Structure 1
Amino acid sequence: MQIQFGDYSISDDKSYLQVGTILRFLAQSYWANQRSEEAVRKSIDNSICYGVYHGPRQIGFARIVTDHATMYWLCDVFVDDDYRGQGIGKRLIETIAGADALQGLTGILGTLDAHGLYEQYGFRKDESRFMRKRPELFR
């Protein structure tokens, strides 16, 4: 799958991923700064991954862990600081929330500060920092 919007694209093709970019960003994040390079690489290998690109440059990322039957976990979401505030993160989450392969599955994620973004796409805050997106069937 590849989506074009303006000068940007979103793809779930792992061959486009720039692992060095992902490693650098996650090393500076509050949630993954203790992960080893090996763990990050293995997590990418075993997940559905979405990259966001400005031309050939990767500027965003998100990873989905799923059993393909009941649930998915949305994690490791980022947009490069230089590209924030342009709706790129919204487009990334919209793409993931609308993905055919995830329909009918319960989505979960953890965030300290982006609840408003995820609520726009059906996720609801739990008693802690975790959020859950229930399938339409259960709403």
Structure 2
Amino acid sequence: MYELDDDPGRIDADAVWAYLSTDAYWGRWRTRAQFDAQLRGAWRVVGVYESATGAQVGFARAVSDGVALAYLADVFVLEHARGRGLGKALVRRMIDDGPGARFRWLLHTNDAHGLYKGFGFTGPDDTYLERPGMPTTS
């Protein structure tokens, strides 16, 4: 059994960092200090936990203006917990069952397009422009 919780105090930052810094194609560029700053600045977080042990097996983070717009980031479920609908439950808890249910949601992803399409995510329309991040210099 698993449970979802949006209590930021329950997030196991070490467990989330362990996944993002090694397994997540989108997260390996960050330092731990940068991740910690993102976690502190998150508008909302949702964790997935094993009921028996309390171990964190999934995570999602959002940034938002708190009124109309939110960005979904760092969504994952650990491999051993996949195949149980936890990814869908995690995204649903974040975007449909929370305070941002009526917001415009944004995200970037190289995979899981089918998952996100099921929640109404589509490609951008002609009104959308984006300035990609600028490379950093050492």
TM-score by length of 1: 0.83
Q: Please give the residue correspondences for 1:1-139 in structure 2 after superposition, counting only pairs within 5 Å.
A: 7-28=1-22, 29-47=24-42, 48-55=44-51, 56-126=54-124
**8 Å CA contact retained: 1:53, 1:59:** yes
Aligned residues: 122
Read off the aligned partner of 2:110 and give its amino acid letter. L
**Distance between the aligned counterparts of 1:100 and 1:109, measured in 2?**
17
Return the alpha-carbon distance in structure 1 between the equivalents of residues 98 and 89 of structure 2. Answer: 16
SS at 2:99's partner residue? helix
> Can you give the 5+ residue segments of structure 2 that lack an aligned partner in the other structure?
126-138
Runs of 4+ with >3 A deviation: none
Identity %: 31
Task: State the Cα deviation string for residues 6-29 of structure 1 (Å, max 9, x = none).
Answer: x11111111111111111100121
Identify which range, 72-81 or 10-19, moves more after superposition: 10-19
What is the CA–CA distance in structure 1 between the aligned matches of 2:110 and 2:34, rounded to whole Å?
Answer: 22
Question: Which of 1 and 2 has greater Rg?
Answer: 2
Distance in 2, matches of 1:74 and 1:58, equals 19
Aligned-partner SS, 1:50: strand
Task: Name the Cα RMSD after superposition.
Answer: 1.5
TM-score, normalisation: structure 2: 0.83
Bigger fraction of residues in strand: 1
Higher relative contact order (CA 8 A, sep 6+): 2
Task: Check the 8 A contact 1:64/1:73 in 2, yes or no.
Answer: yes
